[in-house]
Amino acid sequence: MVTATGYAYPWDFAGDPAATDRAHEAGVETVAVAANYHSTRAATPLHPRHRLVDAEHAACYLPIRPAAWQGMRLVPRVPGWTVPTPSPWPGRLSSRRDYGSPRGPSSPTTACWA
């Protein structure tokens, strides 16, 4: 059995309820979303709210627990392009139905990659 995995970034799905349906229609069964990423200027031509994302610095796109990093020299930064939302990786990223997809279980599942 052949499966298709699509690689994406948080800005591809955050705020775009149709993104899951587009992935499904393209034959994608799993969407692997970047959990950490370097700075970039990314084109998002199909996103309904922006055509370009400026991620000005490397960031962690999962919720950061400050207590886990307390006293450490290196601390993951939160992304600036998501202000005022503190994390572009809401718990709903792991639940395809919360992205507004009517397809339910036939929609792509999500995973993260770092």
Per DSSP, the residues of 21-81 read HHHHHTT-SEEEEESEE--EEEE-TT-SS-SEEEE-S-EE-SPP-HHHHTT-S--PPPPGG
pLDDT digits (tens, 9 = 90+) for 37-79: 899 999 999 999 899 999 999 988 887 888 999 999 988 888 8
pLDDT digits (tens, 9 = 90+) for 77-111: 888 776 455 555 544 444 444 433 444 445 566 66
Domain extent listing, the chain: 5-113
